[in-house]
A and B are shown apart, each in its own frame.
Chain A
């Protein structure tokens, strides 16, 4: 009798420990997954993906592991809850995202990775390694970007009818504005102030050609030299957000874009006052 009781107690404890460790394992897995998913979400939002794309990518990855994820996404913070579909564990976490800096290498890399996770059954460590690799990818060389953005400024000038001299002025002004923006961003000035400094620099340089009356229609170079600052990503993402049914994020993005546009206009205005145009 006594030995049977001992056997029952022992087997009860064994089963209990088994279940407990299994639950512990699921808990750990759901926690690791939640931490990974919120990192992916915050990286996507801050590199210029729209709200819907962020939500879909995160859901695709969590679906591959059999978990359901609900998210509350705002401009600078993400809340996320992972539900287990078999065990009733949940894991919730809030994270503040990084300052926004458009980087399509990361957006396309994570999107590409999310399909591989579904099709090739990646484990969490592999995803973590891939994200670290994507973040550490070097950007294009700074002087190459400066040259290309200068060429874009010259192209804008040509598109609105400028000649070769106006294009050269736009190229120099745009490149200088871009360098100033880079320096100001590195010194951690307010982002809108960075845009203002860049617009001011570009329009001070191109305004000089208006003042000295170089070329046929120097106002074109003056108007187009600040166009490299236009908030294209916030405005287009605002539109796709409102269509996808995220009106709150759309309003935030639109106001962000309008504030940038206001900063550009303020820079132009300052240059006009300086040169008394």
Chain B
């Protein structure tokens, strides 16, 4: 993938994040940050996919990036980290996997004597598992920094506090 196309797709990640930010009624002071994190998270994900990493791991990296970036932003903008992470990770949700899984399930429910039954079954299971693991990666990555730092609140993470104040 060309570098320009990479930036273009990351731009759409940011725009989708912004749409959800408006839907969830986030404060105006964090809107720009949400677009930037959506852009950055999408960029990390696409870049790692480009480097040949599995899509599940790539999503994990993208959402870990968002989770880490949300901590200094939460300090400067005075908003809890979930305000930054939830709208920005939603564009990574594997919509097409879910759609294909649903189509597969409908086909499976229809006719058991279909000669391609086993193939449809394996495709459906693969799509479903991919969707499930990507969803897990998204939620795990977004809450990753707080787990690693073992702190009750982002305000207690001294590493960032000393730098910023």
Residue of B90, B106, B136, B152 contacting most chain A CB atoms (<10 Å): B90
B90 contacts across to A, CB distance below 8 A: 230, 232
Given contacts A223-B99, A236-B138, A239-B139, contact A108 B12 (CB under 8 A): no
**Chain A min CB distance to B112 (Å):** 19
Number of residues of chain A lying within 8 A (CB) of chain B: 50
A160 to B89, CA, bound (A): 16
A104 to B17, CA, bound (A): 14
Q: Report yes or no: B16 in contact with A156, Cβ–Cβ below 8 A.
A: yes
Q: Report yes or no: A144 in contact with B22, Cβ–Cβ below 8 A.
A: yes
Closest to B100 in A: A223
Determine whether B23 belongs to the interface, using a CB cutoff of 8 Å to chain A: yes
Q: Report yes or no: A105 in contact with B26, Cβ–Cβ below 8 A.
A: yes
Determine whether A19 belongs to the interface, using a CB cutoff of 8 Å to chain B: no
B30 contacts across to A, CB distance below 8 A: 108
Q: Report yes or no: A145 in contact with B22, Cβ–Cβ below 8 A.
A: yes
Closest to B80 in A: A111
B102 contact from A102, A144, A228, A268, Cβ within 8 A: A268
A140 contact from B25, B86, B91, B95, Cβ within 8 A: B25
Determine whether A99 belongs to the interface, using a CB cutoff of 8 Å to chain B: no
B83 contact from A108, A148, A149, A220, Cβ within 8 A: A108
Given contacts A158-B9, A159-B9, A227-B95, contact A102 B25 (CB under 8 A): yes
**Chain A min CB distance to B144 (Å):** 10
Number of residues of chain B lying within 8 A (CB) of chain A: 47
Given contacts A102-B25, A108-B83, A145-B22, contact A56 B95 (CB under 8 A): no
**Chain A min CB distance to B84 (Å):** 10
Determine whether A107 belongs to the interface, using a CB cutoff of 8 Å to chain B: yes
Determine whether B142 belongs to the interface, using a CB cutoff of 8 Å to chain A: yes
B27 contacts across to A, CB distance below 8 A: 104-105, 108-109
A49 contact from B82, B139, B142, Cβ within 8 A: B82
A236 to B66, CA, bound (A): 14
A154 to B136, CA, bound (A): 25
**Chain B min CB distance to A41 (Å):** 15
Which positions in A face B, CB cutoff 8 Å? 48-50, 53, 56, 102-105, 107-109, 111-112, 115, 139-140, 144-145, 148-156, 158-160, 220, 223-224, 227-228, 230, 232-233, 235-236, 238-240, 243, 261, 265, 268-269, 272
25 contacting pairs across A/B (C-beta < 8 A): A53-B82, A56-B153, A102-B24, A104-B26, A104-B79, A104-B82, A105-B26, A111-B79, A111-B80, A112-B79, A148-B18, A149-B23, A155-B16, A155-B19, A155-B91, A232-B87, A232-B90, A235-B135, A236-B138, A239-B136, A240-B82, A240-B139, A265-B102, A269-B102, A269-B106
